[in-house]
């Protein structure tokens, strides 16, 4: 999962790009980058680490220009080397800089064609570089001078024909303008905003609306599936549907876990969807466990708090904060190795004994992926004196890999894969395990006024909305991206994936030059 943003203005954009990346830091903590363009030409700063560590004052001062794009990353394709930090750049045609959120599912095929037929060179194993070169090639064969909006849109249309998977893209064509587009399924989010100024209108795109909020941009709308946006250096907005066929199926896991609760994605409030997830989960508990003896509901911080409050309310039980979170430890779900995940849980959470001692406790989490965190947290609750420990997941069992940009590709590492709910309950050590139903989750996210009728639920259902995912593809993906493969490639020792902060020692390790 990554975060992207781009701004076209008549004023310097560096601070607003920095602020946007900072509020989207939850989307990726492996690397950060900003590229700007102005009278001094292209200016770039990118490096492994958190936004605050990558950009110091001396770097910000050099990022001159009134147009720019930014990117924050954690790797699902390629590696975690500094050379694979985004945005990526190619010098032909014009000079194009691109940042990408998502994952292409036909990367190998595209890479081979780019090298053999398009005569382009690839420096990394990143699918984002492949996507950039596809766009650059398609634009080059259509233009013989400064590209028109229609030529740019034609190039994006060709990208949609060639590229499969989930992707949201922001690109800057040097001296021309800003381009943003979204895959025909709208799997990965992208929103558009504007800011009226005395000298005209500034435009901004970002993965989440919170990035618009922090710089006081008005949220206009989401970029539609298959739509391309172009804002020239004259700050005139152009848009066109650039895919012949669209089917709007946004990733439902954005609402479960990844997005900030104060974001609006596809006109849906993440906060409200999580409230409804709690309501639906409470209903499931009442149906499956009508004679429950729950004394207190305790959330696993932070994502599950909104749902847990509603669960407690509807069950008539007390809501308490039973765990204190160390905010300098990473998100264990996306940490690179099993040993790191297990070790980090106790460093990450500490139990308040008085909330557990002698009580029947219901722990609520947003989801259960590998089960490492759940098992360790239940153990913490028992050590704190809980009489019984029940566990509820606001999402259904995660049984299948996600291939569209979320780093849970290895089915063998998913605790619910090939197991019943009772078997998962035994493995994590809960006295009772309650999962949300998939239809309940969909109802939670899709409210009555939503125009969206379906979602990408592949990690729960195994149904892949792009229609091109085979068993062979999933097997090959697992061999490439399971924990063992990451450790052998060195990814696990290099990447820093976590919550909004790292320890002082880690920050120094990835600090700026």
- Annotated catalytic residues are 2
How many DSSP H helices and E strands does the chain contain?
A: 19, 22
In DSSP notation, 23-42 reads HTGGG--SEEEEEEEETTEE
CB neighbour burial string for 467-500, b if at least 16 within 10 angstroms, e if fewer: eebeeebbeebbeebbbeebbebebbebbbbbbb
Asked if the bond preceding 401 is cis, omega within 30° of 0, the reply is no
Task: Report the interhelical angle of 372-383 vs 338-348 (nearest 10°).
Answer: 30
Residue 146, CB half-sphere, CA atoms under 13 Å: how many?
6
Q: What is the DSSP letter of 417?
A: T
Residue 56 makes CB contacts below 8 A (sequence gap 6+) with 512
37 C-beta neighbours (distance < 10 Å), count: 27
The torsion of the CA quartet 349, 350, 356, 358, rounded to 10 degrees, works out to: 130
Q: What would you measure as the largest C-alpha separation in the chain, in angstroms?
A: 76
User: Helix %, strand %, coil % for the chain, to 5?
Assistant: 35, 25, 40
**What SS3 string covers 355-381?**
HCCCCEEEEEECCCCCCHHHHHHHHHH
501 C-beta neighbours (distance < 10 Å), count: 17
Q: Which helix (H) or strand (E) holds 121?
A: none
Q: What is the DSSP letter of 251?
A: B
Contact yes or no for 126/77 (Cβ under 8 A): yes
CB neighbour burial string for 278-312, b if at least 16 within 10 angstroms, e if fewer: bbbbbebbeeebeebebbbbbbbbebbbbbbbbbb
């Amino acid at each position: 999962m990554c975060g992207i943003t781009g701004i076209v203005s008549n004023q310097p954009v560096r601070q607003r790009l920095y602020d946007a990346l900072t509020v989207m830091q939850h989307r990726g903590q492996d690397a950060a980058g900003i590229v700007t363009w102005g009278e001094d030409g292209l200016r770039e700063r990118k490096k492994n680490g958190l936004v605050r560590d990558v950009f110091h004052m001396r770097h910000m001062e050099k990022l001159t220009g009134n147009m720019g794009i930014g990117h924050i990353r954690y790797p699902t394709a390629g590696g975690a080397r500094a050379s694979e930090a985004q945005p990526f750049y190619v010098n032909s045609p014009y000079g194009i800089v691109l940042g990408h959120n998502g994952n292409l599912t036909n990367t190998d095929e595209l890479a081979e064609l780019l090298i053999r037929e398009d005569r382009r060179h690839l420096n990394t194993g990143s699918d984002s570089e492949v996507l950039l070169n596809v766009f650059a090639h398609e634009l080059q064969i259509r233009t013989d001078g400064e590209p028109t909006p229609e030529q740019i849109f034609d190039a994006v249309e060709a990208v949609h024909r060639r590229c499969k998977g989930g992707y949201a893209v922001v690109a800057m064509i040097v001296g021309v303008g800003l381009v943003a587009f979204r895959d025909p399924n709208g799997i990965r989010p992208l929103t558009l905003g504007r800011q009226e100024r005395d000298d005209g209108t500034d435009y901004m795109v970002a993965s989440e609306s919170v990035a618009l909020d922090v710089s006081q941009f008005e949220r206009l709308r989401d970029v539609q599936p298959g739509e391309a946006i172009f804002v020239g250096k004259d700050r005139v907005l152009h848009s066109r549907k650039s895919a012949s066929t669209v089917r709007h199926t946004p990733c439902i896991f954005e609402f479960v876990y990844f997005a900030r609760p104060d974001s609006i994605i596809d006109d849906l409030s993440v906060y409200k969807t999580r409230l409804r997830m709690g309501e639906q989960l409470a209903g499931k508990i009442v149906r499956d466990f009508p004679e429950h003896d729950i004394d207190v509901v305790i959330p696993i911080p932070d994502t599950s708090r909104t749902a847990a409050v509603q669960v407690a309310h509807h069950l008539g039980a007390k809501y308490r904060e039973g765990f204190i979170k160390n905010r300098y430890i990473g998100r264990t779900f996306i940490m690179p190795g099993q040993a790191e995940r297990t070790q980090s849980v106790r460093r990450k959470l500490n139990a308040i004994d008085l909330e557990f001692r002698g009580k029947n406790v219901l722990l609520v989490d947003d989801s259960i992926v590998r089960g490492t965190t759940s098992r360790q947290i239940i153990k913490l609750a028992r050590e704190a004196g809980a009489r019984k420990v029940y566990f509820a997941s606001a999402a259904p069992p995660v049984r299948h890999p996600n291939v569209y940009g979320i780093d849970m590709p290895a089915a063998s590492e998913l605790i619910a894969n090939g197991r019943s709910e009772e078997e998962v309950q035994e493995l994590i050590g809960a006295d009772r395990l309650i999962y949300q139903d998939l239809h309940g989750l969909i109802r939670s996210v899709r409210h009555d006024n939503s125009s969206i009728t379906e979602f990408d639920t592949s990690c729960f259902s195994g149904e892949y909305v792009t229609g091109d995912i085979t068993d062979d593809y999933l097997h090959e993906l697992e061999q490439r991206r399971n924990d063992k493969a990451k450790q052998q490639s060195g990814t696990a020792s290099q990447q820093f994936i976590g919550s909004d902060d790292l320890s002082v020692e880690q920050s120094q390790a990835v600090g700026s030059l």
